[in-house]
Each structure stands twice: as structure tokens, then as C-alpha cells.
């Protein structure tokens, strides 16, 4: 799909994307690159990074892959330094690395719970903390667009509650909280904007492969109603572009939901026609007998 944005909106910018080797992180890296940015992607698996970097370079994007684990502070500081040395600066950090699997609380050990919080929440904090010195630009007090940007990839699971996702829900709730706190603190002190994106179900991502069993995938992808259909990694990348560009320069501390309204929907227990009829019957009854006044007294 073609981008509605001008091809140079990120010209000269350098972006660092954790989890940039696949799924949403890859498409953000690709679209940032296609709009003028140079991109460093970080992930744990060398072969995944290599394939992603080749794909980016084949589209004319300046890209490097740096192997590391966001759970390890020494990895975080090493790869950020390598990216800085390679490109000479760092403007945007995207915290896209995440871990997920389906597990009910009975089957989820405390260590498994901690593992996901370590990747998603502590990882987001660690990367942001280690990137701070690079993201500062000494533009304090000159408006929000002078500092760098942190973009945290979140989710909508924790707005309500999601089956078998207690660990991820807790982790992403912490990510949203980190987004707000850093937006306050680093927005004030360094003009660094910190925002999030909460994607809904997005097709062709590791998340979907883990959360929706293969045998259910064709049923899910067939539903074309806005609130039910699957998003594309492109949708998330476009939101990221908006937030990273000057168009988003006054947006700070927000997590943008990009899900077609999916999180608002709950299973529909009563058919639409039945609701209409039921509602009319109830209205008629209450007109005859206002609440609290027995109809015999009217
Ligand atoms: C129960 C499990 C489990 C499972 C692992 N564990 N898989 N418990 N059910 N299916 C437990 C292990 O037994 C162990 O606990 C603990 O978790 C750590 O497991 P390890 O395998 O040692 O961890 P590690 O090798 O570091 O792998 C981390 C991982 C893995 C999260 C388990 O899946 C991973 O690396 N994921 C990264 C890629 C990924 O998941 N991407 C999808 C992101 S999607 P014990 O107690 O035995 O030691 C996403 C979308 C969110 O984030 C929103 C969706 C709408």
C-alpha cells in the first residue's frame, strides 16, 4: 500500500527499533526507512536480523542489525553505542521487542510471568534509560520537536481483561505507565517526546501466530467488519510515522490505539433485532409504570 506521507518526512533521522527483525517492528523500520530515516534494528536472533537488514537494504534503506537482548543492560548499552557510532546520532527509539504465549494463571509460573515483564516492561525501561544520552539534543525549552522521540509498542489487552494473557496484560499496563512518566519527566527536562501505539490484532505477526491457533486464522481473517477485521503492519507503521514526524510534534504521553475499534467490542449475546424488540417492550412497560411506582397506584 502506498504511504499518504511525503517521502522525506524523516529525512536525516536515525531510528533504533528493538524487535525490528519481524512483524510490526520490521514494518515500522521499513516505513521509517522509506521516509528518509536510517535504521538500526535489534533482536536476539542473528539470522532473523540478517534477513531483515537485507530486505531493508534491497529497498535502498540504510540499515544495520545489532544482536542483543533487551533484558540485559550491557547488551542495551553496547548496541545503542554501536548504532550511535555507525550513524553519528540517534533521534528515535522504538521499543517493539516483546514476548508472548498463551497460558492460564494456573499454568503460568512466577518465572514465566516475570520473563514477559522483563522483556516488555523492564526492557522498555532499560532501552529508554540507556538511550537517553543519545536522544538529548540540548534543545531544552525550544519546543517539543527539538528533542528525540521514544515510541513504545503496547496493546489493548489490559483495558479490560484477556483470557490467558495475565502476564502480557500486566506487562503492557506497565509500558503505558512508563510512557506517561517518561513523557512528563523527559518532555519537561529534555524535550523528548514519549508516546505509545496500542495495536489491535494485526495479521502476519508473531503475536497473531502465538495468540490465534492456525486452525482459527482463516475464520478470523475472513471477517471484514471494521471492529473485527485484522489490521496490517502497515497501519501501525503509518501511526508510527505520524508520531515520529513533525505532524506529531505536540503529541506527548499518549498511547494511540490503532485497532479499528476492536477493543471496544465484546461478544454480542443478543441479536440486534432482539435488542430492538426487547427495548420497545421495556419502554412500553416503564411508561405504564414509572420505576418505583406500582401500576396499581397510577
Ligand atoms: C507457560 C511458558 C510457556 C508457555 C515459556 N514458558 N513458554 N509457560 N506456557 N507456552 C515459561 C518457561 O517454562 C519458563 O518458566 C519461562 O516461561 C521462561 O521461558 P524460557 O523459554 O526460558 O524463556 P526465553 O527463552 O527467554 O523465551 C521468552 C519467551 C519466548 C517469551 C517465552 O516466547 C520468546 O522469546 N518470545 C519472543 C518473541 C515473541 O513472543 N513475540 C510475540 C510478541 S507478540 P519456568 O518457571 O519453567 O522457568 C506480543 C503481542 C502482545 O507481544 C499483544 C497482543 C494483542
What pLDDT, in 10s, does the model give residues 67-81?
Answer: 999 999 999 999 999
Q: Can you tell me the distance from the alpha carbon of 91 to that of 85, in angstroms, rounded to the nearest whole number?
A: 13
For residue 290, what pLDDT is reported? Answer: 61
Question: Lowest mean pLDDT: which of 59-73, 131-145, 219-233, 251-265?
Answer: 131-145
Residue 116 has pLDDT above 90, yes or no: yes
Q: Which residues line ligand 1 (CB under 6 A)?
A: 98-101, 103, 107-109, 111-112, 115-116, 155, 157, 168, 206-207, 210-211
Cβ proximity of 18 and 230 under 8 Å: no
User: Given this model, what pLDDT does residue 292 score?
Assistant: 57
Would you say residue 294 has pLDDT above 60?
no
At residue 291 the predicted structure's pLDDT band, cuts being 50, 70 and 90, is low
Give me the chain's average pLDDT, please: 91
Q: CA–CA separation, 179 vs 11, rounded Å?
A: 25
- Distance (Å) from CA 164 to ligand 1 centroid: 13
pLDDT tens profile 12-24: 999 999 999 999 9
Distance 160 CA to ligand 1 centre (A): 22
Residue owning the nearest CA to atom 53 of ligand 1: 155
Model pLDDT, residue 146: 65
Residue 294 makes CB contacts below 8 A (sequence gap 6+) with: none
Q: Return d(Cα 234, Cα 231) in angstroms, integer.
A: 8
| Closest ligand 1 atom, residue 157 Cα | 55
For residue 115, the CA-to-ligand 1 centroid distance in Å is 7
Distance, in Å, from the CA atom of 25 to the CA atom of 17, rounded to the nearest integer, reads 7
Using CB atoms within 10 Å of the CB of residue 89, give its burial: 0 to 12 exposed, 13 to 18 middle, 19+ buried.
middle
Ligand 1 pocket test: pick from 24, 112, 209 the residue with the most ligand atoms within 8 Å of its Cβ.
112
**Ligand 1 atom nearest 71 alpha carbon:** 26
Here the cell at position 159 is: 483495558
* Structure confidence at residue 38 as a pLDDT band (50, 70, 90): very high
Dist CA 68 CA 86 (whole Å)? 16
Rounded Cα distance between 6 and 173, Å, is 34
Residue from 209, 263, 201 nearest 236 by CA:
201
125-157 pLDDT, tens per residue?
Answer: 999 999 999 999 743 344 444 689 999 999 999
pLDDT, mean of residues 248-254:
97
Residue nearest to atom 25 of ligand 1 (CA): 115
Q: DSSP class of residue 144?
A: G
Ranges of beta strands (E only) in the chain are 14-18, 38-43, 63-67, 92-95, 149-153, 193-199, 255-258
**What is the mean predicted confidence (pLDDT) over 246-254?**
97
Q: Which residues pair with 257 in a beta bridge?
A: 198
What per-residue confidence (pLDDT) applies to 265? 85
Write the residue with the smallest CA distance to atom 3 of ligand 1: 101
Show the domains of the chain with their CATH numbers.
14-297 (3.40.50.720)
Give residue-wise pLDDT tens across range 40-57: 999 999 999 999 999 999
Confidence grade of residue 285 (pLDDT, cut at 50, 70, 90): confident
The ligand 1 atom nearest the CA atom of 100: 40
Q: What pLDDT does 11 receive?
A: 96
- Cα–Cα distance between 48 and 42 in angstroms, integer? 10
Taking each helix axis from N to C end, the angle separating 23-34 and 46-58, rounded to the nearest 10 degrees, works out to 30
pLDDT (0 to 100) of residue 297:
52
Within a 10 A sphere around the Cβ of 4, how many other Cβ atoms? 8
Helices marked H in 118-247: 123-135, 166-190, 206-211, 214-222, 233-244
In this prediction, residues 87-91 reach a mean pLDDT of 96
Mean pLDDT of 236-252: 97
Phi-psi sector, 144: left (phi>0), alpha (psi -120 to 50), beta: alpha
pLDDT band, residue 284 (cuts 50/70/90)? confident
Q: From atom 12 of ligand 1, which residue's Cα is the shortest distance away?
A: 112
Task: Give this prediction's pTM.
Answer: 0.92
Amino acid at each position: 500500500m502506498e504511504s499518504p506521507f511525503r517521502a522525506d518526512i524523516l529525512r536525516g533521522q536515525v531510528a533504533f527499533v528493538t524487535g525490528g527483525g519481524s512483524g510490526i517492528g520490521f514494518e515500522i523500520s521499513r516505513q521509517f526507512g522509506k521516509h528518509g530515516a536510517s535504521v538500526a534494528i535489534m533482536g536476539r536472533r542473528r539470522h532473523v536480523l540478517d534477513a531483515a537488514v537485507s530486505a531493508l537494504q534491497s529497498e535502498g534503506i540504510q540499515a544495520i542489525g545489532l544482536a542483543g537482548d533487551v533484558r540485559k543492560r550491557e547488551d542495551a548499552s553496547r548496541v545503542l553505542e554501536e548504532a550511535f557510532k555507525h550513524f553519528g546520532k540517534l533521534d528515535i527509539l522504538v521499543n517493539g521487542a516483546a514476548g508472548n504465549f498463551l497460558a492460564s494463571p494456573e499454568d503460568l509460573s512466577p518465572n514465566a510471568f516475570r520473563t514477559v515483564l522483563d522483556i516488555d516492561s523492564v526492557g522498555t525501561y532499560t532501552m529508554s534509560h540507556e538511550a537517553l544520552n543519545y536522544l538529548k539534543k540540548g534543545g531544552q525549552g525550544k519546543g517539543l520537536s527539538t528533542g528525540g522521540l521514544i515510541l513504545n509498542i503496547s496493546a489493548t489487552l489490559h483495558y479490560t481483561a484477556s483470557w490467558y494473557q495475565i502476564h502480557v496484560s500486566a506487562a503492557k499496563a506497565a509500558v503505558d505507565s512508563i510512557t506517561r512518566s517518561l513523557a512528563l519527566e523527559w518532555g519537561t527536562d529534555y524535550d523528548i517526546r514519549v508516546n505509545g501505539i496500542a495495536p489491535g490484532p494485526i495479521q502476519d505477526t508473531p503475536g497473531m501466530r502465538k495468540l490465534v491457533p492456525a486452525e482459527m486464522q482463516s475464520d478470523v481473517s475472513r471477517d471484514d467488519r471494521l471492529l473485527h477485521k485484522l489490521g496490517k503492519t502497515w497501519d501501525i507503521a503509518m501511526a508510527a510515522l505520524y508520531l515520529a514526524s513533525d505532524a506529531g510534534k505536540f503529541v506527548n504521553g499518549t498511547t494511540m490505539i490503532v485497532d479499528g475499534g476492536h477493543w471496544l467490542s465484546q461478544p454480542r449475546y443478543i441479536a440486534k433485532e432482539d435488542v430492538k424488540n426487547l427495548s420497545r417492550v421495556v419502554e412500553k412497560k416503564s411508561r405504564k409504570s414509572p420505576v418505583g411506582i406500582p401500576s396499581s397506584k397510577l
